[in-house]
Amino acid sequence: MKSVKTKVVIHRDSIYNLCVRQQYYTCGDCEAYEKMLGYVDSLNDIQLDKVADAVYIIANDIYDHSDIKRIQREYGCSKEEILQAIYFEVGRCVEFHLEEVRIYE
C-alpha cells in the first residue's frame, strides 16, 4: 500500500499569462486584477478537496472582468460556454507536485 503527499499550487504567472494570451480581464481595472492575482498568490498549497472551488473563484472573477460580448461574437458561443472554457483553462494552470510517497507492506 502507498501513501502519497501532494502539494497543489496555481502560480500567479500562469494566470497572468492565460489572461494576456486569451485577452481576458480587459474590463477590469488594475485594482481588481491585482486583487485576483493576490488571491492566486494566497493559494500556495491548496487542499485537494478545495481545488475545484479555487479554480471556480478565479475563473468566475476572470469572467466578470472580461469582455464576454466580444468573446461571444468572435467564437459564437454562449455565456455558459465561455465560463466553462475559462474554468477549463484555469484548471490547466493547476500544478500537482508529489512531495512524499510512503510504501507500506
Q: What is the pLDDT of residues 12-29, one digit of tens each?
A: 999 999 999 999 999 999
Nearest to 15 by CA among 72, 66, 91, 76: 91
Question: What pLDDT was estimated at residue 94?
Answer: 97
Domain spans, the chain: 2-103
pLDDT at 52 over 80: yes
Bridge partners for 7 per DSSP: 97
CA distances 26 to 33, 41, 64, 71, 86, Å, are 10, 21, 10, 11, 14
For the whole prediction, is pTM greater than 0.85?
A: yes
For 82-99, the pLDDT digits (tens) are 999 999 999 999 999 988
Residue 92 CA, distance from chain mean position: 7
